[in-house]
Amino acid sequence: MSAKLQLLVVALFLAVLIVDVSPAQHRRKSRRRTTTTEASVQDEIMNMLEADEIAEEAAAEEAEVTHENGRNEAGSKQRLLQADPCIDKHCGAGRVCQSTEEGTAECVCVEFCNQEVDPRRKVCTNYNETFGSDCEVHQARCFCDTGDARCRGPDYQHVHIVYYGECRQIPMCKEDDMADFPRRMRDWLFNIMRDLADRQELPSHYLKMQREAETNHTLRWTNAAIWKWCDLDGHPHDRAVSRHELFPIKAPLMALEHCIAPFLDSCDVNDDHKITLLEWGKCLQLDEDDIEDKCDELAEANQEQY
Ligand SMILES: *[C@@H]1O[C@H](CO)[C@@H](O)[C@H](O)[C@H]1NC(C)=O
Ligand SMILES: *[C@@H]1O[C@H](CO)[C@@H](O)[C@H](O)[C@H]1NC(C)=O
């Protein structure tokens, strides 16, 4: 083979090579070529093309990465929601939040209540039946509310806690005890208010009243009485303490203080199932003139503070 022919074949080969290279082969081939010392116009072109191609691919990859990241972010957010749609869901007593297959939150009856060992955790219901815990009472009620087969009967739709502790025969409140009860109740309220203040658990708008009660003997009991009355009158806030609103003082004391129930009944002089502040004051044997409905004033002061 002549040198001329040889050159022609090589030239042809190169020409075919340049024309024939598919984009995919481009880089590999030109890269391989850059490892050779042979520099040619074609090599320069190839290198430029390669560089542009790499840049293009890098840009595309970057776009894809951000795109994928975006997808991942959306995906993980969705997964998070799927994992716990219950985060913001509040369920009532005896109910817990459960996520549905659709990823939404719903409240269902508690399946298992913690087994309480402390007998003080037991509760006595309006059917004079001891339940292991308040959870069990709310659960029983929930079963009836939701048409669950575990509902123990139509009555249980209205089951509620009357007092803490096992059901017992509550001894009669003796006349002497009853006579002494308003004084004990006043003291008790004053002491609770003081304890809360000491523990910094008394809402700030009541602190002034508490300090007044400490320093001014006239206000010692009235302020405590007003505080408690305002505190109880919250569901609804209607300037009267209804029976259910008495729960926070009645339920914990019933098993210990035989006179609390008859005493609270006696406060409702006109028997309309509501205790007004005036009735409350009278019942605690406080001077009517010292009793002042400060609840709204106090609540407003509280709002201004925040
Ligand atoms: C309630 O149950 C307790 C304990 O079983 C019992 O001693 C008491 O007499 C009952 N009270 C009423 C009002 O039935
Ligand atoms: C105690 O409070 C009463 C009622 O607000 C008030 O009339 C009296 O001046 C106060 N006494 C003292 C010593 O601050």
Distance 129 CA to ligand 1 centre (A): 8
Could you tell me the pLDDT band of residue 229, with boundaries at 50, 70 and 90? very high
Extents of the domains making up the chain: 85-168, 175-304
pLDDT of residue 4: 44
Q: What is the mean pLDDT of residues 92-97?
A: 90
Q: Residue 138 CB: number of other CB atoms within 10 A?
A: 22
Q: Residue 125 CB: number of other CB atoms within 10 A?
A: 22
Q: Which ligand is nearest to the CA of 221?
A: 2
Q: What is the pLDDT of residues 157-203, one digit of tens each?
A: 999 999 999 999 999 999 999 999 999 999 999 999 999 999 999 98
Architecture of domain 175-304: Orthogonal Bundle (1.10)
Q: Is 114 in the pocket of ligand 2 (CB under 6 A)?
A: no
Q: Is 128 in the pocket of ligand 1 (CB under 6 A)?
A: yes
Task: Report how far Cα 58 is from the mean position of its chain's Cα atoms.
Answer: 47
pTM: 0.68
Q: Do 175-304 and 85-168 fall under one CATH topology?
A: no
Task: Tell me whether residue 290 is exposed, middle or buried, using C-beta atoms within 10 angstroms of its C-beta: 0 to 12, 13 to 18, 19 or more.
Answer: middle
Distance 75 CA to ligand 1 centre (A): 58
Q: Which ligand is nearest to the CA of 122?
A: 1
Question: Is the model's pLDDT at 306 over the cut of 50?
Answer: no
CATH of 85-168, one of 3.30.60.30, 3.40.605.10, 3.50.50.60, 3.20.10.10: 3.30.60.30
**Most confident of the ranges 31-45, 268-282, 291-305:** 268-282
Minimal CA–CA distance to 294: which of 236, 247, 225, 248?
Answer: 225
Q: Which residue has the tokens 């002497």?
A: 176
Whether omega before 252 lies within 30 degrees of 0, making that bond cis, reads: no
Minimal CA–CA distance to 110: which of 80, 85, 145?
Answer: 145
Q: Is 216 in the pocket of ligand 2 (CB under 6 A)?
A: yes
Q: What is the mean pLDDT of residues 280-304?
A: 78
pLDDT of residue 60: 58
Residue pair 259/178 in contact by the 8 Å Cβ criterion: yes
pLDDT of residue 222: 93
Question: Is the model's pLDDT at 132 over the cut of 70?
Answer: yes
Question: Is the model's pLDDT at 25 over the cut of 90?
Answer: no
H-state helical runs in 84-155: 134-145
Q: What is the pLDDT of residues 100-114, one digit of tens each?
A: 888 889 999 999 999
pLDDT of residue 29: 42
Distance 230 CA to ligand 1 centre (A): 33
Instruction: Take atom 8 of ligand 1 and give the residue whose Cα is closest.
Output: 169
The H or E element containing residue 105 is strand 105-109
What is the rounded average pLDDT for all residues in the chain? 78
